């Protein structure tokens, strides 16, 4: 208890308090979660406000004339419920000014301020490979840069066309005719001049990774030429062999948007698990249909749908880069956003224990 009594805690800014009829309602506004605590102490709200990040447990105990052991037990409960956070390292004023929303987000996943600071600093060291700077990839690289990622490897051999401007991020009329990766690098430097970008002006081919010699912490595949299945195969096989978390960047088709699945190697369903499961489902749906070949067929995409796919996937990407794998939500699922219903349709795709890529007899292990 000697060292415990000197600890300092702060009531989280996202917590609202209501006390009536000896019931304390702790409402966590960030996650819309209520916690009810039966407690016979009329000054409980005043007590909790004493935890302002400055007063130690002993100081609060003395000021409110509360038994120290009783107070420590209450604090232990409130910390586990993410109501109080331990202030074991102070945030610099500049960081609070620039990143207070990011701090608020991360505090919901941490018990100490030192953990928050570690994640913010560690994020700067992470390197993300994004393949395909189109309608999903361009939004994802933008969002990750604004979240604090500072090291990117971006892959695309396309130039900006006028048809890209209505749905792809970071491109403008002055960029038409320029390489996408060059434009992305310029725009990222405008977000943060310390961002480092490695540009690869190539298509994703079967031998792409034979010549790839960069280290990365996360791979995001947004390439769809000649098909998403083709590129997913290449990326999935490489990442499973290297044990790298990876995200399939999703897709868009008129009124539907597929949210790319997140793969945590040997923990969640891999690309082969998805492939084998979806083949069974698709065979039922398309049985008897005749496939028609249509030259230069292009389906429409819509910018808000592209950004939905990108935004949902970036949330998982951010969690992976911050070491929050347990909170990833897009793994082992096929998720589709349906704009007409304004709803997500979620299909569970469990990991296949007999999968040739991630199962017991995996060829990648």
> What is the SS3 assignment for 67?
coil
Longest CA span, the chain: 81
Residues in the chain: 365
Chosen CATH of 124-286+297-348 out of 3.90.76.10, 3.40.50.720, 3.40.50.360, 3.20.20.80:
3.40.50.720
pLDDT of residue 364: 53
* Nearest of 172, 180, 175, 131 to residue 152 by alpha carbon: 131
CATH of range 4-86; options 3.40.50.720, 3.90.930.60, 3.40.50.1400, 3.40.720.10: 3.90.930.60
Count Cβ neighbours within 10 Å for each residue of 138-159 and write b for 16 or more, e otherwise: bbbbbbbbebbbbbbbbbbeeb
pTM (two decimals): 0.89
Q: Are the C-beta atoms of residues 36 and 23 closer than 8 Å to each other? A: yes
For the chain, which residues make up each domain, given as ranges? 4-86, 89-118, 124-286+297-348
Question: What pLDDT is attached to residue 3?
Answer: 67
What pLDDT sits at residue 362? Answer: 58
Cis amide prior to 312 (ω within 30 degrees): no
Q: Are 49 and 11 in contact (CB under 8 A)?
A: yes
Per run of 10 residues, the mean pLDDT along the chain (length 365 residues) is: 83 94 95 94 96 95 94 95 96 94 93 97 96 95 96 97 92 97 97 96 95 95 89 94 92 75 95 84 60 60 86 96 95 91 92 87 55
Strand ranges in the chain using DSSP code E only, listed in sequence order: 8-11, 15-20, 23-28, 33-38, 52-56, 84-86, 127-131, 151-155, 196-200, 218-221, 246-248, 251-253, 256-259, 262-263, 333-338, 343-348
Instruction: Locate 273 and state its tokens.
Output: 């698990």
């Amino acid at each position: 208890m000697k060292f415990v009594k000197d600890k300092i805690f702060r009531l989280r800014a996202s917590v609202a308090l209501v006390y009536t009829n000896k019931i304390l309602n702790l409402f966590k506004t960030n996650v819309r979660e209520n916690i009810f605590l039966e407690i016979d102490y009329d000054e409980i709200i005043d007590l909790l406000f004493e935890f302002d990040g400055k007063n130690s447990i002993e100081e609060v105990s003395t000021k409110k004339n509360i038994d120290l052991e009783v107070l420590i037990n209450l604090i232990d409960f409130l910390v586990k419920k993410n109501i109080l956070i331990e202030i074991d390292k102070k945030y610099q004023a500049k960081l609070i000014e620039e990143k207070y929303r990011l701090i608020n987000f991360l505090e919901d996943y941490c018990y100490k301020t030192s953990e928050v600071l570690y994640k913010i600093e560690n994020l700067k060291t992470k390197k993300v490979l994004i393949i395909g700077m189109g309608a999903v990839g361009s939004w994802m690289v933008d969002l990750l840069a604004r979240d604090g990622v500072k090291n990117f490897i971006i892959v695309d051999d396309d130039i900006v066309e006028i048809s890209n401007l209505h749905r792809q991020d970071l491109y403008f009329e002055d960029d038409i005719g320029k390489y996408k990766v060059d434009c992305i690098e310029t725009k990222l430097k405008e977000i943060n001049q310390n961002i480092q970008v490695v540009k690869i002006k190539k298509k994703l081919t079967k031998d792409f990774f034979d010549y790839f010699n960069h280290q990365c912490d996360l791979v995001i595949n947004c390439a769809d030429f000649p098909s998403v299945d083709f590129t997913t195969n290449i990326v999935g096989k490489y990442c499973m062999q290297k044990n790298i978390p990876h995200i399939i960047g999703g897709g868009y088709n008129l009124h539907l948007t597929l949210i790319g699945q997140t793969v945590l190697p040997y923990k969640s369903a891999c690309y082969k698990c998805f492939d084998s499961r979806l083949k069974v489902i698709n065979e039922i749906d398309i049985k008897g249909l005749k496939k028609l070949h249509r030259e230069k067929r292009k389906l429409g995409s819509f910018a808000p749908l592209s950004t939905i796919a990108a935004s949902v996937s970036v949330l998982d990407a951010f969690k992976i880069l911050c070491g929050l794998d347990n909170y990833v939500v897009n793994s082992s699922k096929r998720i589709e956003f349906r704009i007409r219903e304004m709803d997500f349709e979620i299909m569970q795709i469990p990991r296949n224990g007999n999968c040739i890529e991630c199962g017991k007899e995996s060829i990648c292990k």
